[in-house]
Amino acid sequence: MPDLSFREKSILGSLIATVCVSIGYFTLAVPLLLQENPSYLDFVGPVIGAVVLLIVVQIVYAILIAISSREEPRDERDRLIDLRAARLGYVTLSYGVAALIVGLAVAPLVGRWASPLVVLHALMLLSTVAEVVKFAAQFVYYRCSV
């Protein structure tokens, strides 16, 4: 892959870390959700672990790329890319929430799937997907330029 700028490396790292930690968390969470009567306490450990892992990974990665690359101040192109990517993330989140609202509206037909824990995880998943979309958009805009 061609030489990446500091910002591109930072975004790529955040993208990969978010995807990996999220996959790890939901791999643990989904079986718990499918149990007969899942408890909130079952998820405390995985949530805390995921959050701590994400923070630690991002800090370590940030230190590594700061050592290897020169950080440059944000300019107008960086701000434009951030705005466009944030808009895409927002649209993703909006459509997802709208779909969730529709799903909740028909929840009586689907019984347990409308439990608070499931809704909570659906919102967490939507937030994660929106964040991933934002990071991916930023990276694509930097590579293909905007």
Partner 1 sequence: MGRLPIENCIRELRFRSGEMTQQQLADRIGVTRQTVLAIENGKYSPTLELAFQIAAVFEVELGEVFVYVPRRRGRE
Q: Cβ contacts of residue 93 below 8 Å, gap of 6+?
A: 126, 127, 129, 130
Q: Which is nearer to partner 1, 73 or 108 (CB)?
A: 73
Size of the site for partner 1 (CB under 8 A): 12
The one segment of 14-22, 29-37, 122-130, 137-145 that binds partner 1 by CB under 8 A = 137-145
Distance (Å, rounded) from C-alpha 84 to C-alpha 86? 5
**Amino acid found at 71:** E
Q: Cβ contacts of residue 2 below 8 Å, gap of 6+?
A: none
Query: C-beta of 78: minimal distance to partner 1 in Å?
Result: 7
Binding mask 22-61 for partner 1 (x = CB under 8 A): ----------------------------------------
- In Å, how far are 5, 15, 136 from 74, measured between CA atoms? 12, 19, 18
**Amino acid found at 111:** G
Helix 6-33 with 116-144: angle, nearest 10 deg = 160
Query: C-beta of 41: minimal distance to partner 1 in Å?
Result: 48
Stretch 64-93 residues interacting with partner 1 (CB under 8 A):
72-73, 75-78
Distance (Å, rounded) from C-alpha 123 to C-alpha 117? 10
Q: Which is nearer to partner 1, 84 or 129 (CB)?
A: 84
Query: C-beta of 77: minimal distance to partner 1 in Å?
Result: 4
Stretch 1-20 residues interacting with partner 1 (CB under 8 A):
5, 7
Note the residues at the interface with partner 1 (CB under 8 A): 5, 7, 72-73, 75-78, 142, 144-146
